[in-house]
């Protein structure tokens, strides 16, 4: 996976980008006491979490003092600024999302269909679930060991949650079971190779946002988790036949033996060697 990260000294900004997920970029600051911003705006939709310390948050005519646990939101072209408060330690994470990508997601979710981007009225939130979700997504995106399908799925899950939390949630369609089964069958049939979200969606003729919501509701896991589960089932069968663990890991579609062993232990509470006997 070709990821580009610009990591500076500990107090400086850290950036994350991935050429396979060009619609999102992340940034973090561990100690922002010396980092001050003039009023500015982005062409992207921006959302961030204050992870430590306190700061002032200006958005349009509103100005707030905020601290750890707060999520801030900036629509495209919103004039805003965040700056440290009285030399307090201050850390945060931000995500910058392509407006066209987010607009398509809004349409898929049933919001403002065939219209332009629907701006958010909220400029901040103290909802713990939103804060936890943003931090989970940041951890997934910046983990070099996590594959693209997982990252893509996590991004759609989180921003679907943002949309549904800050706007009324549209109802799920009632006739998706057959299409969901087609998606599950496609994942099962091709579980040992790398799969993209687009391939899975095409196999079932479903949008990505609908697939992830409805699949999790129906099967109790995301398409990515379902894929890993199928790979582990394949791996168990190969281990029963006495195949070498390193060979099984690659045959099952894992990047290497270490990835296979971690997933196997997480799902089965035993190592591949213990299972094979």
Report the mean per-residue pLDDT for the chain. Answer: 86
- Answer whether 0.85 is exceeded by the pTM: no
CB-hemisphere CA count at 13 Å for 194? 7
Do 160 and 245 belong together in one domain?
A: no
- E strands present in 68-216: 71-74, 80-84, 90-97, 124-125
CB-hemisphere CA count at 13 Å for 223? 40
Do 51 and 140 belong together in one domain?
A: yes
Q: What is the mean pLDDT of residues 247-272?
A: 89
How far is residue 277's CA from residue 275's CA, in Å, rounded to a whole number? Answer: 5
Q: Rounded to whole angstroms, what are the CA distances from 115 to 30, 103, 111, 240?
A: 38, 8, 9, 55
38 class by beta-carbon count within 10 Å (0-12 exposed, 13-18 middle, 19+ buried):
exposed
CA 205 vs. chain centroid, Å, equals 22
**For residue 162, what pLDDT is reported?**
96
Q: Tokens representing 43?
A: 């062409």
Domain count, the chain: 2
Q: Quick check: 176 pLDDT over 90? A: no
pLDDT tens for 84-117 read: 777 667 788 999 999 999 999 999 988 877 788 9
**For residue 129, what pLDDT is reported?**
96
Q: What is the mean pLDDT of residues 176-204?
A: 93
Q: Tokens representing 260?
A: 């296979």
Among 139, 141, 105, 152, CA closest to 17: 141
Do 180 and 146 belong together in one domain?
A: no
Domain of 102, CATH number, reads 2.60.120.10
Do 48 and 106 belong together in one domain?
A: yes
* Spatial CB neighbours of 159, under 8 Å, sequence gap ≥ 6: 97, 102, 105
User: Any idea what DSSP says for residue 128?
Assistant: H
Among 114, 214, 117, CA closest to 167: 117
134 class by beta-carbon count within 10 Å (0-12 exposed, 13-18 middle, 19+ buried):
buried
Dihedral sign of CA atoms 165, 167, 173, 176 in order: negative
Q: What is the mean pLDDT of residues 130-142?
A: 97
Q: Which of 106, 137, 166 is the last residue of a domain?
A: 166
Q: Tokens representing 107?
A: 């349409």
Per the structure, the complete domain to which residue 225 belongs is given by 171-277
Least confident of 47-61, 104-118, 160-174: 160-174
Q: Rounded to whole angstroms, what are the CA distances from 179 to 16, 109, 191, 204?
A: 35, 17, 18, 5
Do 152 and 124 belong together in one domain?
A: yes
Q: What is the mean pLDDT of residues 189-205?
A: 95
**For residue 3, what pLDDT is reported?**
47
Q: Quick check: 147 pLDDT over 80? A: yes
**For residue 91, what pLDDT is reported?**
86
Q: What is the mean pLDDT of residues 28-54?
A: 79
Strand 124-125 and strand 80-84: the pairing is: unpaired
Q: Quick check: 75 pLDDT over 70? A: yes
Q: What is the mean pLDDT of residues 1-7?
A: 42
Do 109 and 215 belong together in one domain?
A: no
Contact 23, 97 (CB under 8 A): yes
Do 156 and 212 belong together in one domain?
A: no
Do 144 and 28 belong together in one domain?
A: yes
């Amino acid at each position: 996976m070709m990821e580009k990260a610009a990591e500076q000294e500990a107090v400086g900004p850290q950036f994350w980008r991935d050429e396979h997920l060009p619609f999102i970029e992340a940034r973090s600051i561990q100690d922002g006491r010396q980092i001050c911003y003039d009023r500015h705006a982005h062409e992207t939709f921006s959302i961030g979490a204050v992870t430590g310390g306190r700061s002032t948050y200006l958005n349009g005519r509103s100005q707030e003092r905020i601290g750890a646990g707060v999520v801030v939101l900036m629509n495209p072209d919103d004039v805003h600024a965040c700056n440290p408060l009285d030399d307090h330690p201050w850390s945060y994470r931000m995500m910058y999302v392509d407006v066209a990508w987010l607009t398509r997601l809004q349409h898929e979710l049933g919001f403002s269909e065939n219209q332009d981007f629907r701006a958010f009225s909220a400029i901040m939130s103290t909802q713990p679930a939103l804060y936890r979700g943003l931090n989970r997504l940041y951890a997934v995106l910046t983990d070099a060991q996590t594959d693209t399908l997982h990252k893509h799925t996590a991004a759609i899950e989180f921003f679907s949650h943002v949309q549904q939390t800050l706007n009324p949630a549209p109802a799920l369609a009632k006739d998706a079971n057959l299409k969901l089964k087609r998606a599950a069958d496609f994942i099962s049939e091709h579980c040992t190779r790398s799969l993209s979200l687009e391939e899975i969606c095409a196999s079932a003729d479903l949008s990505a946002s609908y697939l992830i919501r409805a699949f999790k509701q129906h099967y109790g896991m995301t398409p990515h988790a379902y894929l890993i589960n199928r790979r582990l089932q394949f791996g168990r069968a190969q281990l029963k036949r006495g195949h070498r663990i390193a060979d099984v890991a690659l045959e099952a579609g894992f990047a290497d033996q270490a990835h296979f062993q971690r997933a196997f232990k997480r799902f089965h509470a035993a190592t591949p060697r213990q299972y094979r006997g």
